[in-house]
Amino acid sequence: GENVEQHPSTLSVQEGDSAVIKCTYSDSASNYFPWYKQELGKRPQLIIDIRSNVGEKKDQRIAVTLNKTAKHFSLHITETQPEDSAVYFCAASHTGTASKLTFGTGTRLQVTL
């Protein structure tokens, strides 16, 4: 089955700096890669996703890149703000035949003033 690894487990940045979180996946058939943000005690919230037919997607301060050959994808947050502090999870799935999401272990991002 699919295996997703995520690094780093914790990340501390100063407000205004950029943050990068990286994930690798094992199943070359995976074609959908979402990122979820989870604040303490809250539900995971989808912040951005990418499908395997594109290499990059951007939404304001958040971007995701995908390298299918290397089987890795990354989340980039620019101009970080204190409200970006949360746990971020990457995930992978193969829509159509195995839609369950396989999640990474999470990255705790802390944005300091």
Partner 1 sequence: GAGVSQSPSNKVTEKGKDVELRCDPISGHTALYWYRQRLGQGLEFLIYFQGNSAPDKSGLPSDRFSAERTGESVSTLTIQRTQQEDSAVYLCASSLVDAQPQHFGDGTRLSIL
Residues that bind partner 1 (CB under 8 A): 1, 32, 34, 36, 42-46, 49, 89, 91, 93, 95-96, 98-106
- Identity at 39, one-letter amino acid code: E
Query: C-beta of 33: minimal distance to partner 1 in Å?
Result: 10
Closer to partner 1 by CB, 19 or 44: give it. 44
Closer to partner 1 by CB, 6 or 80: give it. 6
Query: C-beta of 25: minimal distance to partner 1 in Å?
Result: 14
| Cα–Cα distance list, 70 to 66, 73, 90 (Å) | 9, 9, 16
